[in-house]
Chains A and B, each alone.
Chain A
Amino acid sequence: MFAARGVSKRFGAVRALDAVDLDLSAGEVVALVGDNGAGKSTLIKVISGAVTADEGQLERDGVPVQINNPHQARSLGISTVYQDLALCENLNVIGNLFLGSERRRWSLLRKIEMERSARTLLSSLDVRIQDIAVPVAMLSGGQRQSVAIARALVGEPWLVILDEPTAALGVEQTAQVLDLIRRLRDRGLAVLVISHNLADVRAVSDRTVVLRLGRNAGEFRTAETSPEAIVAAITGAAA
């Protein structure tokens, strides 16, 4: 479905990515893991258009595509949820879901239509927020993460990239967010999750891709692989 082939990126003398390959397909959750500086962030920035690769190409259904900026990525159906969530804490849930893509007639907000879509979207994801008219600042961390993920779906993407979605969340909220990621998969979306937390990776991903020092360092079917093997790939220790 979507593939990165031989992607390389240099920052000055540092080779952040060195001929990295990545395949993503619909209805599959892929976890991207690796130590700090392994190139995970650079790779998702390449896919989401925040940086452009020096070499290599991106393919959609076997056809090469150009992604030079975030806007192009979005119009190709690639949606990214950054670690800092990028929510406006003073706006309510509806305002955040439609931030920048407000439904409007001329310049007037179509509030009722937005509220209805927001409720439909949130309930289809089984996200429970008591009052969607309260500012996002009043929500819990897990709810905010859910709102950020739900927002990524407003543009009807087919690939959603999640950067550390469970960092800084408690046990119960982590479970909520992992459930939400499974529902994204069940909707037939391709999902790419960056995580440091191997327990979460095991819980939610179908496939685990390991990067180490900017190179592919292994690819596993998560369910059939022991955590030790993944750790070994991450650290580079002989398994």
Chain B
Amino acid sequence: MTTLTKAIRWPGRTTDGPARPGGVGSWPVVGGLVVIAIVFGSLNEQFLSAENLSNLALQLAATGTISLGIIMVLLLGEIDLSAGSVSGLCAAVLAIVHVRHGQSALLAVVVALALGAVIGLVHGLMFTQLRMPSFVVTLAGLIGWQGLLLYVLGRGGTINLPFDGAIAKLSDTWLPPWASWLIVVLIVGAVATSAVLNRRWRRRADLPLPALSRTVLRVAGLAVLLGAAVLVLSADRGVPLLLVIFGTLVVALDLVLRNTVFGQWIYAIGGNAEAARRAGIPVTRLRIVAFVLASTLAAFGGLLAASRLAAVNQSSGGSDTLLMAIAAAVIGGVSLFGGRGRPYAALLGILVIQSITNGMLLLNVDSSIRFMVTAVVLAAAVAIDSLSRRGSEQ
């Protein structure tokens, strides 16, 4: 929840970075979250309790991280169907290196992430060099890496991670209140400072300034939201480290995409690959990098999931992990047509999906209903995307 307000300022178009043309921004998602909170909160008093919200925060991280990787390829107008299988496979390799071969947790993590990167490289090369559609490349990946996962796990099928080991500890670490508040102060301070500096530089460059009231409102809103999140989470066990890691990834990726040449080029390719190529942008190289990032983030998501379960088994990264990760990105406002959307979509989208899942579990609703409700939310999100896209084509 650390970064929710930054996403809220999305509709109020800033002068930097690609906005969603004619789009409705993330207001529908934020509105949806409020509705979810009210509905489940009134049906079950447990839903809005500090304990449940803490659990929710823990549940976000793994699938959210995978979703973040999927956003990288969605921005190019491509798709990665293999992310779930890759997350499971890399988690299995992590467990094998760490538990079966007794290597250190750090080495195991490095190996797992490197495997993810190599898998992404293979996908990227197949896509760019063999000119296979990304859908097919990663569909093969979805099936193949799942097969490899079953193969490396062998007959046992389950590897338990030591409960007191570093990897399991990752999801059982809670920030003390002072650390949480320090982080809030640092984030709000950084945002405020950058806003002040931006105004100063723009004034010096004789450029129009954004409305002061809006800037103040944004910083204040961020402070209130982060403060509320810390208050709620600290009433239970504290802010989970997992949430901090996920939040950091989201913020870092967003900063990179909005402020670097790399990010600008990713959006350019998603908008018009041919125009990007003619402008001298190394399209092939960037596509490969995006696939590498997607699979590496999937591997990291798998690691977080393994940490939470303290085990890797045959269904790791399976069942609905991939579909939820894609759905989260789309619900959060990333366009399937490429070039539009921001990493905050992963946070917002996964928040919506996990809230529905969590709320329905509290209400003891059958998963059949849960799937149908999630489907309606997903369909609505895509419909809004398509309509806003059509509206912007004059």
Q: List the interface of chain A (C-beta within 8 A of B).
A: 70-71, 82, 85-92, 95, 99-102, 104, 107-109, 111-113, 115-116, 119, 133-135, 137-138, 140
Contacts and interface: CB of A to CB of B under 8 A. Distances in A.
B213 interface: no
Contacts of B393: 137
Contact of B14 (A70, A101, A119, A133): A133
Contact of A86 (B21, B206, B261, B274): B274
Contacts of A91: 18, 264, 267-268, 271, 339
A99 B18 CA distance: 13
A82 to B, nearest CB: 8
B21 A88 contact: no
B45 interface: no
Interface in B1-52: 13-16, 18-22
Contacts of A88: 267-268, 271-272, 275-276, 339
Interface stretch (B106-114, B174-182, B278-286, B351-359): B278-286
Shortest Cβ-Cβ A-B pairs, 7 listed: A100-B279, A88-B271, A90-B271, A90-B339, A135-B21, A86-B275, A137-B21
Interface in B314-351: 338-340
Given A133-B13, A138-B392, A138-B394, 14 more contacts: A82-B278, A91-B339, A92-B18, A92-B19, A100-B279, A100-B281, A101-B280, A107-B260, A107-B261, A108-B260, A116-B205, A116-B207, A135-B18, A135-B20
8 contacts: A87-B275, A89-B339, A91-B268, A100-B276, A107-B260, A115-B207, A138-B21, A138-B394
A115 B276 CA distance: 20
A87 B272 contact: yes
B371 interface: no
B22 A109 contact: no
Nearest to A151: B279
Contacts of A89: 21, 271-272, 339
Interface of B: 13-16, 18-22, 201-202, 205-207, 259-262, 264, 267-268, 270-272, 274-276, 278-281, 338-340, 392-394
Contact of B19 (A85, A119, A134): A134
Contacts of A85: 275
Nearest to A95: B264
A85 B351 CA distance: 40
A89 to B, nearest CB: 6
A134 B21 contact: yes
A151 to B, nearest CB: 9
Contacts of A82: 278
B22 A95 contact: no
Nearest to A71: B280
Given A104-B261, A138-B22, A86 B278 contact: yes
A99 B19 contact: no
Contact of B340 (A90, A99, A115, A116): A90
Contacts of B259: 108-109, 111
Contacts of B394: 138, 140
B188 to A, nearest CB: 22
Contacts of B206: 116
Contact of A102 (B13, B18, B264): B264
A109 B17 CA distance: 10
B278 A70 contact: yes
Most chain A CB neighbours (cut-off 10 Å) among B14, B262, B264? B264
A96 to B, nearest CB: 9
A95 B268 contact: yes
B20 to A, nearest CB: 8
Contacts of A137: 21-22, 392-393
Contacts of A95: 18, 264, 267-268
B13 A111 contact: no
